[in-house]
Amino acid sequence: MGDSDINFHYHPCAISSLYRTLQEKFSHTTRAYHIVNLWRQLIWQPIYLSVASCYRAKISTNLHALKQVRTENTLYGLQVTNIVTHHSLQHAINANIHSLRRCLDHAFNTMKQVCHLSYGQSVKIVCDILANAFVRVSGIAQSDVLTAALSEWQHALFNKQHTFLDRQSNSQKVKLATCCLHIQIEPNNPCENCPKNSIRRTTHAN
């Protein structure tokens, strides 16, 4: 990936262009879907990078200056700067949380210039993606350690935990706090752990 491929950063014009593309590609869905999809696109790579960098290598990066690769309606691929190696895991955790908080604040404040997403909803989406990142890329195998780490990050970022792991499951599954609205794309194929899918199953059972 060359420098010419790095074509997206958190600027109102770039975010507005991505938002318009999502509206055009998914014109059959609601405005809420476009906004939720946009926010998820903006934040998923920084979150996954933070978790993987921290627990796999004890490093942190300057996410505030993150640049990403946009291909049509998708952000995938990134460039980071100022990589710092930490001597302890806790130092890496603290540095990554601080960097991620700045990145999320910057992304949200810039996105507000393009469209409206409530802060509370944005936080729940962050927590859901964070939980999935821990399950998929942290490398933490012990459920109790994973649960504690997820709680630590959410409280450090937002002073509250919104997303939890499903303790009743034998595998590491996430109890999502909010719906990604994928059901607008495939109404008959909701995400397995979608909270709306759980409500639907409960309604049918009654």
Q: What is the DSSP string of 82-135?
A: --EE-SSHHHHHHHHHHHHHHHHHHHHHHHTTT----HHHHHHHHHHHHHHHHH
DSSP per residue, 48-73: HHHHHIIIII-EE--GGG-EEEEETT
The reported pLDDT for the residue numbered 195 is: 84
Q: Which amino acid is at 56?
A: R
Residues of the chain with pLDDT under 50: 1, 199-206
pLDDT tens column, 3-12 = 557 889 999 9
Domain encompassing residue 15: 3-205
The reported pLDDT for the residue numbered 171 is: 65
**Alpha-carbon distances, residue 50 vs 43, 147, 170, 200 (angstroms):** 11, 17, 26, 34
Give the total number of structural domains in the chain: 1
180 CB-contact burial (10 Å; exposed 0-12 / middle 13-18 / buried 19+): buried
What pTM did the predictor assign?
A: 0.92
Can you read off the two tokens belonging to residue 64?
Answer: 């505030």
